[in-house]
Structure 1
Amino acid sequence: MNRGIKTILSMTLVAMMGFNLASCGQDQGQIQSQNQSSEQSEQQEEASEGFSPKYSSDTEYKLSVVGTYSNFESLESTIDRFYEYYPNGEITYTFLDDYRNTIGPALAGQEPPDIYVVQPWMYGNPLFTSLFDDAEVLSAPELEINLDCIRPSVQWEMDNGQIVALPVFATSYGMLVNMDIFEKEGLEIPETFDELKVVCEKLKDAGYASPVMGANTSTTPGIGYAFAYPMFAKTVKDDRSIENDLNNLVPSAGEAMRASLTRLKELVDLGCIDVDKCTAEIEDDYNAVIMRFFEGDVPMMLCSGDVVSGTKKRESKSETFSEKPFRYDFYVAPSGDEGGYFMDSISILFCVNKNSATLDMTNEFIRFLTSDDELGRMALEKRLITPTKDYSLDEVYASLGDFPEERTVNFRDTEILDTAVKQFRAAAYAVVNGEMTVDEAVASYGTIPTD
């Protein structure tokens, strides 16, 4: 069968439709089903053996999903596999522009979505209370959703112990590593900061002017945040008594930034990274980072997992990489004396609307999705980190598989609010660019200008 998902990109269009997300026409993103018994039996034979359908294969249904991605091809693939079990249905995906301000009205509309995206920062914000109040309890035993396949570090239990959101993608901060360069120069991937210093010196001697590169921005994929924030988060994890003051921008709380900013300054002062070169050659924190890395002469490129997610599609867009491809992997940046720190962060989650008109089939789709195979495939196609316990499907992230728990920081280990995060990002950018000393940045906490 020929099926595809055409995403609806305009929020204005969604408003015109009165949020009629579940009854879009064929030209508005509808995935239509054809009732052909011979094809049904063929598809059933090809379907994955790990999922046992609860309902008849001729069940008719309509489901709608809304989210933050304008292009959600990995979801399309999952839906296609779901159709192998339930071909007599249609599923629409709609990208909501300005999601922060449009998801609430969408849920309150006459025909609200059955499944919707949430992100961790939304929890606790009064603007998004309804997103969690209206969510199905996915941990309810009768739903038989295999949440055990989700690794504990990204399982999101509410205060009452219930799970109402399914992690779909995880992400982190670290560096893309050109494995061919390390093999050519006979070097091991550095695991500690001392090892990084030695490796950078050897790489400079071999002609690599800036062994480490990255986007010189104050954003999360930028140099300062990708390298130093995990160490800062570990400091907070180890002493959560400072968390309140950090979140309330108490000036004395800036002392918590000292160790990570000092290490960041050391990275620059030692010449491991040439900030001027990064500024001149990398124009933005996403596309330019990837395309510069694909030139093949950057041993280590600081970035986030969200940047890594864009690599697969851009391999063919880089003439240099197409002509001379190389192997690359993602590693935690070795900022600490004992090793780096793995930020095991959630990128997006799915919630099920408990008021869905087709709640049984919506829960069935989530049950189908919640497995090592399906979540792993979705992460692989998007090239983000799987939320499951099995990292092996995408070798780019294989280094994370056995990462020590004592140097892992997950989203439940800290509760650093966005205001504090912005202060750290601004401080790191100022230190990287020589606009502030570490002492000045620490002393200015709470008043550092942010974007």
Structure 2
Amino acid sequence: MKRRILSCILALTMAASLLAGCGSDAGNANSSAKPEAAADAAQEDEPAAEEDAGNETGEEGEKFDKEVTLTFWSPTWHKDADEQVIADFAKIYPNIKIEATFYSTDDIKTNTKVAASSGTLPDMWYNWGGFNYANYYASADLCYDLSSYAKENGWEDKYLKSALDLCTLDGKIIALPQVYTGLVMWYRTDILEQYGLEVPKTFEELENICEVLKENGQASFSTGGWHIFRYLEALLEYYAGPEEHDALNTLEADWGSSEAVTQAFAKLKEWGDKGYFIDGYVTEDANNAKMYVFGGTSAMVMDNSGMASDVVANEYDTSQYSFFAFPTGKDGNTGRISSYVKTTQFNKNLTEDQFEAAMLFWDYYYSEESLKSHPSIEQPTAVAGAELSEAMKLADGMLEMIDAAGSYTTTDQDVPNEIMDVVFATEEAVLLGTIEPSAAGAEIQKAIDAYKAASK
């Protein structure tokens, strides 16, 4: 019942904010307005002033009469954006204090796991989706179940469906989706045009492009190191199909007996032997993969939406870059796209006041006004219909494409790290010829069986 009352209060508060926000700017607070208003009220009605002494009102008419502090762990690359948003939010809700601590990628992953084991998790923390990250805290019953709040407050309309799906475990929404992206094929439009090639819609058309490029001395795919798995993952989706691929990733299907696993490894080896990848790709640094596309050595690279900002930051000709979905479907269908979500999770032990304050903060963070006022907020956001910044315009349409095609969680976020280490090693062994593709699945299944035995 309390939660229903809280939802009604929040709905009325948000409605008041929308009406007031039409003629105001949350980023320009007038600090002298509130003391003067309070003084006038005190002269007219002393008892009323005393009664409302604890109620802080933001410049847009927002009212939150509790003193609340929320601790928040966030990555260092969010520092500029988060600090700006927190400062502007404080002008609207001065009673809500957000205490942010910033960590590197590795440190935030490690520190949250340590905090989880010691019972010292912050009130909110940044995380990634999937088994190794967000799901871990939900499975351990450490994070807030957002399902009821999401349903009562229209998250199905506010956020992209596929992003919310990746924040859902066993029917419960376990995290708020912040950033959503997927792995698509970025390509050089000028290179394809040079050889009269069109964007492929089927797997066969993609292989035809590779063959034409090879005949003309042009590498098709740029990759290296762990990044090679991005192509193997797409091949697994193509050969296994959604149902079996999901079962493989959840360790419910047997990798050793899967024909699709053998086919995917065999095709990856075939592409390597045919020269579809750049020279020396097995030992190349994964971080250098996109550089070969920038330099024109290869025509395509599997990458996320960040490729768009890289093109702009390096002042490359944006007309020479675009993207398409790796064709993982059959019968002309695009097929699902590997994608992942970056999230915020909330401590299960939040009080009702803390939870209300947290939701007010994130409603502001991803409001249209905030996104326009704070262009340094990481993009693309999971907010449906949100406009991309100028630096990200090249990725326009990507999220809609993923949402329409459907998605699956990027494998290395969904499969335990101990098993992924074996997958990477097996992949390299197949490409170097020390293991046959037909034996790859069995090697991985051994690791899965060992993991399951150790987890009992």
Aligning the two structures, in what range does the TM-score lie when normalised by the shorter sequence?
0.5 to 0.7
Work out whether 1:312 is the aligned partner of 2:312.
no
Match of residue 285 from structure 2: 284
Alignment CA distance shift 1:355-1:326 (3 Å): same
Aligned residues of 1:230 and 1:341 also touching (Cα < 8 A): no
Whether 1:116 aligns to 2:116 is no
Amino acid at match of 2:298: V
Structure 1 residues 266 and 111: alpha-carbon distance in aligned structure 2, compared to 1, 3 A threshold: closer
Looking at structure 2, the residues matched to 126 and 110 of structure 1 have their Cα atoms a distance apart, in angstroms, of 12
Percentage identity across paired residues of the two chains: 21
Partner Cα distance (1:418, 1:34) in 2: 47
| Equivalent position SS for 2:444 | coil
Q: Distance in 1 between matches of 2:439 and 2:276?
A: 23
Identify the match of residue 230 of structure 1 among 231, 234, 240: 234
Indicate how the Cα distance of structure 1 residues 396 and 271 shifts in structure 2: closer, same or farther if over 3 A, else same: same
Q: Which residue of 2 aligns with 1:4?
A: none
Matches within 5 A, 1:263-412: 263-276=267-280, 278=281, 283-286=284-287, 288-303=288-303, 305=304, 308-309=305-306, 312=309, 315-316=312-313, 318=314, 321=315, 327-334=320-327, 338=332, 341-353=335-347, 354-355=349-350, 358-369=354-365, 382-384=378-380, 386-390=381-385, 393=388, 394-396=393-395, 398-399=397-398, 401-402=400-401, 408-411=406-409
| Structure 2: distance between partners of 1:189 and 1:419 | 37
2:204 aligned residue: 194
Distance 1:275 1:291, change over 3 A: closer
> Equivalent residue for 1:247?
251
The CA deviation at 1:403 is 5.4
Q: What displacement does 1:369 show? A: 3.9
Residue 67 of structure 1 aligns to a residue in which SS?
strand
Greater shift in the superposed pair: 60-69 or 409-418: 409-418
* 1:73–1:432 CA distance, 2 compared to 1 (3 A): farther
How far is the alpha carbon of 1:376 from its aligned partner? 10
Per-residue CA deviation, residues 26-73 of structure 1 (Å, 9 max, x unaligned), is xxxxxxx98624799xxxxxxxxxxx9783399876443213455444
SS at match of 1:435: coil
Return the letter of the residue paired with 1:408: G
With over 3 angstroms needed to count, the CA separation of the structure-2 counterparts of 1:425 and 1:139, relative to structure 1, is farther
CA shift, 1:212, in A, is 1.6
Q: CA–CA distance in 2 between the matches of 1:39 and 1:291? A: 54
Give the equivalent residue in structure 2 for 1:431.
Answer: 430
Cα distance, 1:421 vs. partner? Answer: 4.2
Distance in structure 2 (CA, Å) of the matches to 1:164 and 1:448: 28
Partner SS, residue 131 of structure 1: coil
Q: 1:129 aligns with which of 125, 140, 144?
A: 140
Aligned to 1:259: 263
Counterpart Cα distance in 2 of 1:190 and 1:62: 52
Offset from partner CA, 1:406-447 (integer Å, 9 cap, x none): x63424999755555444433333333333321232343334
User: Does the 8 Å CA contact 2:188/2:320 hold for their aligned counterparts?
Assistant: yes
CA-based RMSD of the aligned residues comes to 4.7
The answer (yes or no) to whether the contact 1:228–1:260 under 8 Å persists in 2 is yes
Q: Higher helix proportion, which one?
A: 2
CA spacing shift, 1:430–1:315, aligned 2, 3 Å? farther
Q: Which residue of 1 aligns with 2:71?
A: 64
Larger radius of gyration: 2
Residue correspondence of structure 1 range 12-51 to structure 2 within 5 A: 36-37=31-32
**Which amino acid in 1 is paired with 2:437?**
V
CA contact (8 A) 1:230 1:342 kept: no
* Paired AA for residue 55 in structure 1: E
Number of residue equivalences: 385
SS at match of 1:302: strand
The structural deviation recorded for 1:179 is 2.6
Give structure 2 stretches of 5+ with no counterpart: 1-27, 36-58, 451-456
Measured after TM superposition, the shift of residue 144 of structure 1 is 3.2
CA contact (8 A) 1:392 1:398 kept: no
8 Å CA contact 2:187, 2:322 repeated in 1 = yes
Q: Per the alignment, do residues 368 and 197 of structure 1 end up closer, same or farther by CA in structure 2, a change over 3 Å counting?
A: same
CA contact 1:164–1:351 (8 Å) conserved in 2: yes
SS across alignment from 1:446: helix
Q: Which amino acid aligns with 2:100?
A: Y
1: distance between equivalents of 2:273 and 2:386? 35
Question: Cα deviations across residues 109-168 of structure 1 (Å, max 9, x unaligned)?
Answer: 898633212332235648972532xx2535327973634322333323443x44231111
Distance 1:77 1:128, change over 3 A: farther
Deviation of 1:261 after TM superposition, in Å, equals 1.8
